[in-house]
């Protein structure tokens, strides 16, 4: 099993996939920086507080999709939205869409799995975010928010220090925005780089040394329990999407079902133990439970849907 040929193949795979991912991520993170320059948290709050019902949910999900904040920055922004008068449903759609639909995840999907899979994934998760906000508001979960105040973001990402504060006045020329976008992109790139390398390394090991029949037996299309198990594993595993997507692409090539791959990605990216701990500080227990059940349900539904159409 552990032969020189396996090691050579794994090494080649690691060099190719890590090179492709690093180039992709450099470009995507710069676009991310520009998005955050032109769509800052204040803009999101201003737009959503003017919306009503389903329109607000759609816009909330759309803004969550194009504002790629990490979970510890998404949640302070969420608190700012709710405290600023944004509709509860729209804010919840933003919460669900933000970790699942950001440009980094979509860029990785597009690079490693193709346009059809990326568009299908985006459509399912966007619809889930809109419906989640609608349903949660309908069943009266709005009273499960604790009305807290966030003083400072726990994230190392810059630009969000206190919800509701007025940013220091600067001359926002195009050159300045591009410069800040570059600085933000470099900061984000440095944070995510270890996870990309880890994902490429694990993927290379699986590519070179893990037998296909083992993957097929454990998580192939003939295993009816692979999808719910993958969804359940994703949340406590707390592995970033930047790591799991390259690994999933290799597992897919080894025989893992597309449904199990999607369930694992959505479960891992949509919720994690640290995120649930932060959410429990601003939500009461019923809403935290609803959040976990929703992410698991979306992961399982997406998994079976992908297996059905593919």
Q: How do residues 66-117 score in pLDDT, each as one tens digit? A: 775 555 567 777 888 888 888 899 999 999 998 888 787 888 888 888 899 9
43-51, Cβ contacts within 8 angstroms, sequence gap of 24 or more = 44/77, 44/81, 44/94, 45/77, 45/80, 45/81, 45/84, 45/86, 48/81, 48/86, 48/87, 48/90, 48/91, 48/94, 49/81, 49/84, 49/85, 49/86, 51/86, 51/87, 51/90
- What's the domain range around 151? 4-309
Tell whether the model's pLDDT for residue 136 goes beyond 90.
yes
**Mean pLDDT in the chain?**
78
Share of the chain above pLDDT 70, in %: 76
pLDDT at 256: 85
pLDDT at 3: 59
pLDDT per residue as tens digits for the range 46-70:
777 776 778 889 999 998 887 755 5
Structural domains of the chain, count: 1
Tell whether the model's pLDDT for residue 143 goes beyond 60.
yes
d(CA 172, CA 159): 14
- Specify the residue for token string 């594993």: 233
d(CA 116, CA 65): 18
**CB distance 260 to 302 below 8 Å:** no
Specify which of 22-36, 123-137, 143-157, 191-205 reaches the highest per-range mean pLDDT.
Answer: 123-137
Task: Please give the residue that has the higher pLDDT: either 181 or 226.
Answer: 226
User: pTM for the whole thing?
Assistant: 0.75
Tell whether the model's pLDDT for residue 169 goes beyond 50.
no
Tell whether the model's pLDDT for residue 124 goes beyond 90.
yes
d(CA 97, CA 91): 10
Task: Please give the residue that has the higher pLDDT: either 294 or 195.
Answer: 294
pLDDT at 151: 52
Share of the chain above pLDDT 90, in %: 23
Mean pLDDT over 158-163 rounds to 37
- Quick one: which of 19, 177, 160, 183 has its CA closest to 81? 160
Mean pLDDT over 169-176 rounds to 64
pLDDT at 221: 79
At residue 5 the predicted structure's pLDDT band, cuts being 50, 70 and 90, is low
Mean pLDDT over 137-164 rounds to 63
- Quick one: which of 237, 246, 171, 242 has its CA closest to 207? 246
At residue 186 the predicted structure's pLDDT band, cuts being 50, 70 and 90, is confident
Please spell the DSSP secondary structure of 267-279, one letter per residue: HHHH--HHHHHHH
Residue 292: exposed, middle, or buried by beta-carbon count in 10 A (0-12, 13-18, 19+)?
middle
**CB distance 263 to 302 below 8 Å:** yes
Specify which of 1-5, 133-137, 161-165 reaches the highest per-range mean pLDDT.
Answer: 133-137
Q: Which residues pair with 145 in a beta bridge?
A: 283
């Amino acid at each position: 099993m552990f032969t020189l040929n396996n090691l050579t193949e794994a090494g080649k795979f690691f060099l190719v996939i890590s090179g492709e991912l690093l180039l992709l991520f450099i470009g995507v993170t710069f676009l991310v920086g520009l998005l955050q320059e032109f769509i800052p948290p204040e803009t999101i709050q201003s737009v959503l507080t003017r919306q009503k019902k389903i329109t607000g949910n759609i816009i909330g999900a759309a803004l969550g999709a194009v504002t790629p904040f990490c979970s510890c920055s998404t949640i302070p922004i969420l608190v700012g939205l709710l405290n600023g008068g944004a509709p509860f449903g729209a804010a919840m759609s933003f919460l669900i869409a933000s970790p699942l639909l950001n440009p980094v995840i979509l860029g990785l999907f597009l690079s490693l799995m193709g346009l059809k899979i990326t568009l299908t994934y985006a459509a399912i998760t966007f619809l889930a975010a809109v419906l989640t906000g609608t349903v949660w508001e309908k069943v009266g979960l709005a009273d499960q928010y604790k009305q807290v105040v966030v003083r400072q973001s726990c994230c190392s990402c810059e630009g969000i220090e206190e919800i509701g504060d007025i940013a220091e006045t600067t001359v926002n020329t195009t050159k300045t925005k591009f410069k800040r976008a570059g600085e933000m992109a470099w900061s984000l790139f440095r944070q995510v780089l270890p996870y990309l390398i880890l994902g490429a390394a694990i993927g290379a090991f699986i590519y070179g040394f893990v037998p296909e029949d083992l993957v097929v037996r454990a998580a192939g299309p003939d295993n009816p329990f692979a999808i719910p198990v993958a969804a359940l594993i994703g949340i406590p595993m707390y592995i970033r999407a930047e790591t799991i997507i390259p690994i999933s692409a290799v597992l897919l090539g080894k025989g893992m079902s597309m449904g199990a791959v999607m369930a694992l990605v959505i479960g891992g990216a949509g919720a994690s133990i640290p995120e649930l701990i932060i959410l429990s500080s601003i939500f009461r227990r019923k809403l935290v439970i609803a959040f976990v059940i929703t992410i698991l349900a979306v992961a399982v539904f997406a998994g079976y849907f992908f297996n059905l159409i593919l």
